[in-house]
Amino acid sequence: MLLESQLNLIQDIQADHLFDPSSKYSYEEYIQKTTQYIVGFLNKDNFYSGESSSTLKQRIEESASTTETQLTIDEALQEVKELYLDHTISFHNPNYVAHLNCPVLLPAIVGDLIASSVNTAVETWDQSTSATFIEQEIIRWISAQMRFPTSSDGVFTSGGTQSNFMALLMARDHYAFTHYGLNIKQNGWSDVVSRFRFFCSEKAHFSIQKNAALLGMGYDAVIPVATDTAMKMQPDVLVQAIEKEKQSGNIPIAIVATAGTTDYGSFDPLETISKIAKEYDIWFHVDGAYGGCYVLTDTHNHLFEGIKHADSVTIDFHKTFFQPVCSSAFLAKNKQHFQYVSYYADYLNPIENRDPEHPDLIEKSIQTTRRFDALKLWFTLKITGTKTISAFLEKVHYLALELYYSIKDDIYFEVAHKPELSTLVFRYTALGVTDDKVHDTINLYIKNTLFKTGQASVASTKLNDVIYLKFTLLNPKSTIDDVLNIIQMIKKTGSDYKTIN
Ligand SMILES: *Cc1c(COP(=O)(O)O)cnc(C)c1O
């Protein structure tokens, strides 16, 4: 006999909310209705409504405090539209040129929908079956593009930050093991590790420092190396830095080269740096979070020649392969090195059950439950194909170059570099103003005003302590007129600044 409380529970359960055979018609209805709202999001003119953060926060707090009411799908969609879709940022809008967010491809979106509905977790073979092999095939494909041998391996990660974390961890634990017989995974910290040093360019991504800190080694374990006028790491300065650290008793263990720096898109000279790493017998990691996908292009493929000497590679598909977040991979040249992150749990993947025919991808990942992010990429490769993606990437690169040539001699602008990928760093300079602090204020005023008014989203960064604006161009449908239109907005706002202040 059922207790009264159990009877109440059964009545409370909305059977058609769980994705199962009884909900298939509701599923179709939900998806169809949702699709209309998503299409509505595409119809907005501005990249941002310009609504104030205080208004948005207040409305969302109000809604959050009324969780008792059970909304219908229509009511909930209407609310999500008003609270989120109407005010969120449209990365497909040509006036969005701020960060490394790309417009996404339709095959990738539906691939994600399948992955989310089925909810495969790519951990152990018995949870993921075919998904295991689909992910492995994508890894094999991208590894071959990176000129890695078949003895290499890789895994999908949550992003470049996590991939770089894995690289630094492997480099450290491998060095500690091969040079000192230390097993850090088993025994933890050893004093000598405090003297381990990583080298990367001063334009490398902040996740190198952050990950060194997370590994218990601190920001100071990372030695920034000066770049040249093209924002590339200078090999002679790298050698000097390595020698200097050795002289002061520290132990160089890895070099991180960047294939496409976040701000300038610059490629460190991989071939030369690989030789330096070989000379010192230390780990060579290539961070291709931004530039990695350019390996597919005719314009940039030659820049990857030296990557075959790398021990590990980071690549982000959610930046330059037009994939929804997350889609990213970490590759290691020697698959044995994944042992530094593997763990064998009795309940999940007991070591005695290891079987190459039924691989458990968890052995290579620092995540346990992990999304099946490879499916959207698989779908993209099948439907869109690499030719189109490579054309997209070349298009945004040429757009950045065209913008560079359009403004480099303009007296109102000072450009910081010639684009190697699809970013341009520059600043507005007011005529007759020589104080950099004033220019900093004007450039920040421009950036903030354009955002607040919903006109355009432009990023800012610092070069030699001076504030610059940055365009990150990732929309292959943007035209030179679109970007020059933002340049006009910048000029207008810059000249308004004088009259307002
Ligand atoms: C964006 C970026 C990262 C971090 O990647 P996430 O996917 O945002 O974690 C690392 N390195 C470089 C060069 C990047 O541009």
Spacing, Cα 472 to ligand 1 middle (Å): 14
Atom index in ligand 1 nearest the CA of residue 316 equals 7
pLDDT at 8: 64
- pLDDT for 363 equals 96
Atom of ligand 1 nearest to the CA of 207: 10
Q: Which residue minimizes the CA distance to atom 15 of ligand 1?
A: 262
Among residues 90, 1, 78, 85, the alpha carbon closest in space to that of 48 is found at 90
Q: How far apart are CA 470 and CA 422, in angstroms?
A: 10
Give the mutation target among 102, 256, 262, 312 for probing the ligand 1 site: most ligand atoms within 8 A of CB: 262
How many CA atoms are closer than 13 Å to the CA of 441, on its beta-carbon side? 8
Instruction: Examine the pLDDT at 14 and tell me if it is beyond 70.
Output: no
Atom of ligand 1 at shortest distance to CA of 328?
Answer: 7
Confidence band (pLDDT; 50, 70, 90) for 15?
low
Per-residue model confidence (pLDDT) at position 16: 76
Mean pLDDT in residue range 11-15: 62
Q: Which atom of ligand 1 is least distant from the CA of 258? A: 13
Question: Which of 295, 288, 333 is CA-nearest to residue 312?
Answer: 333
Q: At what angle do helices 436-452 and 480-500 cross, to 10 degrees?
A: 120
334: Cβ contacts below 8 Å, ≥ 6 apart: 151, 152, 311
Q: In a mutational test of the pocket of ligand 1, which residue from 316, 366, 373, 420 has the highest number of ligand atoms less than 8 Å from its CB?
A: 316
Q: What pTM, to 2 d.p., does this model score?
A: 0.96
Ligand 1, atom nearest to 259 Cα: 13
Neighbouring-strand partners of residue 489? none
Q: How many other C-beta atoms are found inside a 10 Å radius of the C-beta of residue 323?
A: 26
Query: Which residues' Cβ are closer than 6 Å to ligand 1?
Result: 100, 159-161, 164, 205, 207, 258, 261-262, 287, 289-290, 316, 328
Quick check: 200 and 257 in contact, CB under 8 A?
yes
For residues 129 and 318, is the Cβ–Cβ distance under 8 A? Answer: no
Q: How far is the centre of ligand 1, averaged over its atoms, from the C-alpha of 488 (Å)?
A: 30
Per residue in 243-253, pLDDT tens? Answer: 999 999 999 99
- The distance from CA 378 to its chain's CA centroid, rounded to whole angstroms, is 18
* 212-264 tens-digit pLDDT: 999 999 999 999 999 999 999 999 999 999 999 999 999 999 999 999 999 99
Among 45-54, 273-282, 294-303, name the one with the lowest average pLDDT.
45-54
Ligand 1 center from residue 207 Cα (angstroms): 7
Reading the block at residue 281, the tokens are 């017998």
